[in-house]
Chain A
Amino acid sequence: MSEGKGFRRFLDSALEFLYGMAGHDMTRFALKTRGSMEHLFILITMGDMLGVPILPPYYSLRILPYVVPQIATWKRRMLRERDLTDALA
């Protein structure tokens, strides 16, 4: 029994190790891409918050509650200045 548990723990550690080596980067990339898309999405739906009216706002309002937490970071990202180093990030 205890041997089985030990093996299980070893397997878990091995998997975590593998994840750290290979998977973590992929996950990071996936989440980063998703984050950019999220910001794009907010721009399309809530653009008039930055003075870019894209969509009649009736239905934007329906989506608004779901993006409330992201609005601050979204605005910061959209409005911040950019330079060459951004391309490297």
Chain B
Amino acid sequence: MSLAKVFEEHPERRYIEFGGKGGLGKTTLSAATAYWLAKKGYKVLVFSVDPQASLSDIFQRDIFGKGAVEIIPGLFAQEIDADKRIKEYQDEIRRKILDMYGLDKVPDEVERYIQAAAAEPAMEESAIFDQVVDIVVKGDYDYYIYDLVPLGHALYYLSMATVYDQWIDKITKLRQEMEEYSKVASIMQRKKEFEEDKILRELQEIRYRINTSSSILTDREKTAFFFVIIPEEMAILDTEKAAKLFAKYKVPISGYVVNRVLPPELESQNIPEYLRYRLEMQKKHLATIKEKFGDQVLAYVPEFERDITGLDMIHRVAEVLFGKID
């Protein structure tokens, strides 16, 4: 099985994700995949949910917080600026309060809460998570490529979604019960109109957003999740552990890509001992990878002689992953 074949056989998988330990090349592979799809004529958005995103670096353009920026025809890249998003969100809340009650200043107590809430550690993740929903629900693109955060964070995302969902479920029930009591009161007082609970509607909207964002990560039909590994012991062990956890959250794992493989032809050349040892080590770990992941390995990407930044290098990586690009 090759990576290109996975895409051809499953055209319905439109949410593409690369996950793995930090620094193994998730951004590189995301960019190369987006590049290949765009060259094939699709409209692709590659976006980063990492607060320390590196799409700007790889495309050598400052796209941070600038929305979707077109890199080449059909290829759009976006880095979400969480801080900016949080500020906008706070302003939205303030405006809503002022409008709803005709105030010209948010009450001190409420203002303090709005500010304190933004300083919570989960705020950034939630804000990014929430914006992803807006991006994906719009449906402007053929493919969405997630440049995921390192594994731990991604799992945190998923578990957060589950907790949120249950939480919303509980308070929605509480709210519905409250509505019953209001109804009883208004019937007894023979009021013709019964005011609908706006909070209940808000809760349902929140729940919709949470479910949408977590289903993007876990949708069996529409999602393809690829693990990036390198032939090193720690990476292999960590990935194995992560794969088990991801399976628990029902993330559909589509395969593995092995990155940073030293070119085997080096062996026949006159190379220093240091490099020969590295080659030996990688050979051993490649055998382990083969044994553990077998035909789930979809591509091997060599260690290049220079940094992978700029479109020329992305083009080279894409050709290694998918075959010749015309």
Q: Please give the residue numbers on chain A whose beta carbons come within 8 Å of chain B beta carbons, in ascending order.
A: 15, 19, 23-24, 26-27, 30-31, 33-34, 37-38, 40-41, 44-46, 48-49, 53, 55-69, 71-72, 75
Contacts and interface: CB of A to CB of B under 8 A. Distances in A.
Contact of A62 (B123, B164, B174, B202): B202
Contacts of A30: 181-182, 184-185, 188
A57 to B, nearest CB: 4
Interface centre among A19, A23, A40, A64 (most CB of B within 10 A): A64
Contact of A69 (B101, B120, B185, B189): B101
Contact of B122 (A37, A46, A58, A64): A58
Contact of B181 (A33, A41, A53, A60): A33
Across chains A and B, which 3 residue pairs bring their CB atoms closest together, nearest first? Answer: A58-B126, A57-B117, A34-B181
Contacts of A56: 120, 122-123, 126, 160, 164
Interface stretch (B106-114, B133-141, B293-301): B106-114
A26 B184 contact: yes
A41 B174 contact: yes
Given A44-B174, A56-B164, A64 B113 contact: yes
Nearest to A33: B181
A84 B285 CA distance: 72
A64 B189 CA distance: 29
A62 B177 CA distance: 21
B120 A65 contact: no
Most chain B CB atoms below 10 A, which of A44, A48, A58: A58
Contact of B101 (A26, A62, A68): A68
Contacts of B188: 19, 23-24, 26-27, 30
Interface string B140-184: 000000000000000000001000100110010011011001101
Contacts of B171: 41, 44-45
B182 A34 contact: yes
6 contacts: A30-B181, A34-B181, A58-B89, A60-B117, A61-B90, A61-B117
Given A56-B164, A59-B126, A66 B117 contact: no
B185 A27 contact: yes
Most chain-B Cβ atoms within 10 A of its Cβ — which of A31, A38, A61, A68? A61
